[in-house]
Chain A
């Protein structure tokens, strides 16, 4: 028997965005958080480098500069009203976190410490600015812990290890969600006036990724199936420095602290691609540079990686060449101890997985699939916008990586996702509670959980001619090769064809685990279906966009084309068919210009 529950607000996801939404929604509305992982296992905990805000603790900075950098970083695809709102609110958000207890690293006079990060600049000089507020190299861990601690304090209601399978809409408005309790295999029906999706990203569709196993795009897939479009899915960020083969992220903070990228000839090649800020250019720029270096045979030993070098002698050598100084004007010089203190976790990863000590040896790195700029379309209050005309779906919200506000446009700047979670998680939580106070429950149909139940039964009793692991591996290889850092018409067409084929094969899967309790095989197969849907939408959106912008680099259309393509993609999925439409970008004060670093 399906168990029934009723809440004003349901938050799906217990990461940074979800917990923030819950903390604020629960102040006035009866709220519960459903999460497939225990909240402290969420991927927000993996964020390393920091959260950006123009506090100006170490040098002059202004939120307007942060906004301009974000617009430029987005390759002008970000909506500028939302970006301005976010960068203004970022300052308050960081202080809120500090007041919640977040143990930020500190300056000598006790204020929140800040460091340089890719694409963040002093707009007057064009030089890198210290804007990233950090807690060593585990900022995300501290955000996740701190928010969870506050939830414990306020006795927030959690349904841990509840997997949301479906969204219920009635009369065009939210009615609730259907979830699978992992411990028992039972279905639960949650009636709700408002539902906030905060389910994170979908980087698991690529072979090399920094993303958790859980990054399977569930929120976007669920809403797509219910007729909500997905926005700008062709824009997916490849981070330039993943550990070779493993994909584990080496934060940009390593370059912020003075690390440099080196090719097989021992050259600091970023000088050729971004003469001004070099290794701290935007991620799309650096990832393409790595790709081109490797294509030209300048990967280390001709292989598919380059070196990231943060040995003190290297850092000091290039810092001297760059004329880099400390805030007090003295020359920038570091010791091995200082590096160890600033990036302890990175050093630990390298020792554990590579047997390499980064203060003694350079690290082998390659681009790794990292961040979804695209997702569920929302406005700045987190309300889901269901079409190109801006029509809001009553009661439906999204925040965090699964949402597309859009503040990241075609390419996200480092530190801006954590800002996004905190600012828009809060906005969505507040707005959802306000909405719930004035709205009634939609009636639930008698067959509310039928769709989810049928799909699960299908997986349990399928023809059994296909194995999910095979399909997953093929999808991941295909996406990395054809829908990766560089794309072509031919490759994308091939990707679309093969993805259709993989989706057909996925319908022939039968899971071998016929049990109820903790049936991870069932859940993982369901997730594979979600990834395949999103992969198809990503490839189709990329195929249609005949230009290069931010993270979407077409070899056959190498230039940005503002005349035809300064617009957001909206993709809908009906059966096997993807249909695309477009909506304009909001521009307030920053007119599109050529983007160089």
Chain B
């Protein structure tokens, strides 16, 4: 079927203003939107810039705005969109570098703020694993799925309004460690999340949960972090 792609274009070198280019191509209903972008670059316009790698929804390179909603281009099929008119734009809230490529720097800065790594300086059992029951493991299973694609954070109206907000992805990654029975740094992490730019900025818009290509229950994770903050020992609060 004939499909029209309207793609956001911006080239920093040609000093030109952002604009849209339209391409019409033959598509199958089962084509990934990424397949269409590839065909545009291969056969129509080699200058189109977008990131991609695995092409099956696990590397997180190709998050973008497709018909006004965040998706991974490799995880949405033409038929899923229910139309043959497809508008493709870069993620909102991050600086555009070229066409569909955004600067992920601010996103990863927020990620690093929440200490996204296991902290446990007790000597681990020599030549053995630390034990963790399936029930303990289950508490943070969902948030281990995050691929850092930024689809959630860049769908959040609070983040659009204030780029200093840590955003859902950073909170999800904090959650992954706060609820890990092996971790010992919940307190400093919660202190970071309790800042003005942290979880309390969340207005429960649910956009993040809808945008997540890994089906992480992002809003629920944020709520769990909020509850952990409320439960914090008063002495620990500043």
Contact = CB atoms under 8 A, between A and B. Distances in A.
Do chains A and B stick together as partners?
yes
Interface of A: 37-38, 40-43, 45-46, 91-92, 94-95, 98-101, 103-112, 135-136, 138, 141-142, 145-146, 149-150, 152-153, 183, 212-214, 246, 248, 345, 348-349, 352-353, 467-469, 511-513, 515-521
B163 interface: no
B129 A95 contact: yes
A428 B174 CA distance: 32
B234 interface: no
A469 B43 contact: yes
Nearest to A154: B117
A152 to B, nearest CB: 6
A41 B56 CA distance: 12
B175 interface: no
Contact of B55 (A111, A145, A212, A521): A212
B58 interface: yes
Contact of A141 (B43, B58, B140): B58
Contacts of A515: 11, 13-14, 47, 98
Contacts of B157: none
B112 to A, nearest CB: 6
Interface stretch (B141-149, B202-210, B224-232): B141-149
A13 to B, nearest CB: 13
Given A95-B127, A101-B117, A212-B59, A110 B132 contact: yes
Contacts of B104: 38
Contacts of B98: 515, 517-518
A509 B4 CA distance: 28
For A42, A45, A213, the residue with the greatest tally of chain B CB atoms inside 10 Å of its CB is A213
A517 B102 CA distance: 12
A518 B75 contact: no
Nearest to A520: B49
Given A45-B58, A108-B134, A517-B49, 17 more contacts: A38-B61, A43-B54, A43-B59, A99-B130, A100-B118, A101-B177, A106-B133, A106-B137, A136-B141, A138-B145, A141-B145, A212-B59, A349-B57, A353-B32, A512-B47, A517-B97, A517-B98
Interface residues of B, number: 62
Interface string B169-184: 0000000010010110
A353 B55 contact: no
Nearest to B54: A212
Contacts of B85: none
B117 A150 contact: yes
B2 interface: no
B41 A41 contact: no
Shortest Cβ-Cβ A-B pairs, 8 listed: A101-B118, A469-B42, A110-B131, A149-B117, A512-B46, A521-B46, A513-B47, A153-B117
7 contacts: A98-B124, A105-B134, A112-B129, A213-B53, A345-B58, A519-B49, A521-B47
Given A95-B128, A353-B77, A469-B42, A141 B147 contact: yes
A41 B59 contact: yes
A181 to B, nearest CB: 12
B53 A43 contact: yes
A519 B48 CA distance: 8
B52 interface: yes
B12 A45 contact: no
> DSSP class of B's interface residues: helix, strand, loop or mixed?
loop
B58 A46 contact: yes
Contact of A46 (B54, B97, B137): B54
Contacts of B118: 100-101, 146, 149
B130 A105 contact: no
A37 B53 contact: yes
Given A112-B129, A152-B116, A213-B53, A45 B147 contact: yes
B27 to A, nearest CB: 15
A214 B58 CA distance: 14
B46 A45 contact: no
A105 B137 contact: yes
Nearest to B108: A38
Contacts of B130: 98-99
A103 B180 contact: yes
Contacts of B129: 94-95, 98-99, 104, 111-112
Contacts of A141: 58, 145, 147
Contacts of A214: 53
B116 A517 contact: no
B63 to A, nearest CB: 11
A213 B52 contact: yes
B127 A45 contact: no
A107 B60 CA distance: 30
Contacts of B141: 103, 136
Interface in B76-135: 77, 97-99, 101, 104, 112, 115-120, 124, 127-134
A212 B99 CA distance: 22
Nearest to A55: B129
B121 to A, nearest CB: 11
Given A145-B144, A353-B77, A521-B46, A101 B55 contact: no
A101 B115 CA distance: 13
Contacts of A183: 97
A152 B112 contact: yes
Contacts of B97: 183, 517-518
B41 A520 contact: yes
Contacts of B127: 91-92, 95
Contacts of B45: 512
